[in-house]
Amino acid sequence: MKRTWKATRRGSAFGPLTGAPFDVPAFLARPLVARLATDGPVVRPVWYLWEDESFWVFTGSWSRLPDRLARNPAFELVVDVCDPGTGLTRQVVASGRGRTVAFDTARARRKLVRYLGPDESRWDARFALSESTAASGALWARFDPDVLRVADLSFTPSAIEPGTVVAHD
């Protein structure tokens, strides 16, 4: 089985992400945390939405991310899972250019449903959406990868009992 794979954007699209060691769109549709690195370097954990072959992250006037992207739009982002109990280890690493764009409430709702569930009445008040959200300074940071590196580094776990803490020097 192929364990690593690389896709390069051709023009405005990657096209079908076939040939990867696992279903990349399904993996990126999961509510995982990505780590985003921008100018500095500055690394931050982010909730994201993979849509239109781009990663979408909330930002706005409260953040330095818009200024960082204006100065230098280069980014790297990794979405990964590692479960030592099962050995499942997968990653998608994206690199390209980012920019800020106008806030879109419908896109924001799609993103938040992934992480918070479909019942908005149960969401923490900090995530309340309205048409005035953009007026509060909210923006989208859109990260358009030029390259996606995909790896399945899964392994057969050892016979260590689940829940055992292994000390390292």
* Ramachandran class of 89: left when φ > 0, alpha when ψ lies in -120 to 50, beta otherwise: beta
The pTM is what? 0.82
49 token code pair? 């939405």
Residues 134-159 have a mean pLDDT of: 90
Whether 163 and 122 have beta carbons less than 8 Å apart is answered as no
Tens of pLDDT along 24-53? 999 999 999 999 999 878 899 999 999 999
3-class DSSP state for residue 111? helix
4-152 classified as CATH 2.30.110.10: yes
90 token code pair? 């997968």
Tens of pLDDT along 80-131? 999 988 899 999 999 999 999 999 999 999 999 999 999 999 999 889 887 7
Q: DSSP readout, 50-110?
A: EETTEEEEEEETT-SHHHHHHH--EEEEEEEEE-TTT--EEEEEEEEEEEEEE--HHHHHH
Question: Where exactly are the structural domains of the chain?
Answer: 4-152
* Ramachandran class of 3: left when φ > 0, alpha when ψ lies in -120 to 50, beta otherwise: alpha
The predicted pLDDT at position 123 comes to 94
